[in-house]
Amino acid sequence: MASALCTLYLEVLTISKLDHQLNEEIRDKEIRVIGHDGAQLGIMPPADALRLAEEHEMDLVKISPNATPPVCKIMDYGKFRFEQTKKEKEARKNQHVVEIKEVRMSPGIDVNDFNVKLKNAQKFLKDGNRVKVTVRFRGREMAHTNIGEQLLQKFGAECAEVAAVEKNPKLDGRHMSMFLSPKATPKTK
């Protein structure tokens, strides 16, 4: 039981550390070595490459394990990891998550209420989000689904300058929905 648990623990450790093999972890017979300045140092045993890395007070890192022979580079691994995490943070900071905002209406909506919903949807679209416009039918309104479809068509036409109709109006139970996506705006410098 204890040995199985220990094996499971080691497997979890290896799964969580899928980065790179370092220094003594490199167990290949021969490796292709790249120096800290980018120059190719040739093919040699890992012990010799490790000695070279220690002379420069750096680490030996396997960067291409699937190559024949595997490629290792002499570098400052701590600095490399710091730069990688910095790049990942910058990439996460610059990405924009597109959300789906929903605007709900009824078939008997008044003009002013319609305009308020329209302004909200246009604001969502300008922020780069998709918009789901829904008309809910209650009771006898189900007999007049064409009114809801016309309302959605009108809504799509009013948003035409900032959005494109992604999915046309579709009846799903007591709801009729339409999706709008923002138009790509040309970037200005």
**59, 92, 125 - which closes a domain:** 92
* C-alpha separations of 142 from 33, 134, 151 in Å: 73, 14, 14
Report pLDDT for 16.
35
**pLDDT tens, 54-85?**
888 888 888 888 888 888 888 888 888 888 88
Enclosing domain of residue 119: 100-182
**72, 92, 112 - which closes a domain:** 92
115 occurs within a structural domain: yes
The answer to whether 80 and 40 have CB atoms below 8 angstroms apart is no
Helix 111-126 to helix 145-158 angle (10° resolution) is 50
**92, 113, 128 - which closes a domain:** 92
Q: What is the average per-residue pLDDT within 129-148? A: 90
Q: How many domains does the chain have?
A: 2
pLDDT band at 178 (very low <50, low <70, confident <90, very high): very high
Q: Any residues with CB less than 8 A from the CB of 34 and at least 6 apart, and which?
A: 40, 41, 63, 71, 72, 73, 74
Assess whether 127 and 160 both reside in one domain. Answer: yes
CATH number of the domain to which 108 belongs: 3.30.110.10
Q: pTM for the complete prediction? A: 0.51
> Can you tell me whether residue 111 is helix, strand or coil?
helix
Report pLDDT for 161.
87
Q: What is the average per-residue pLDDT within 106-120? A: 92
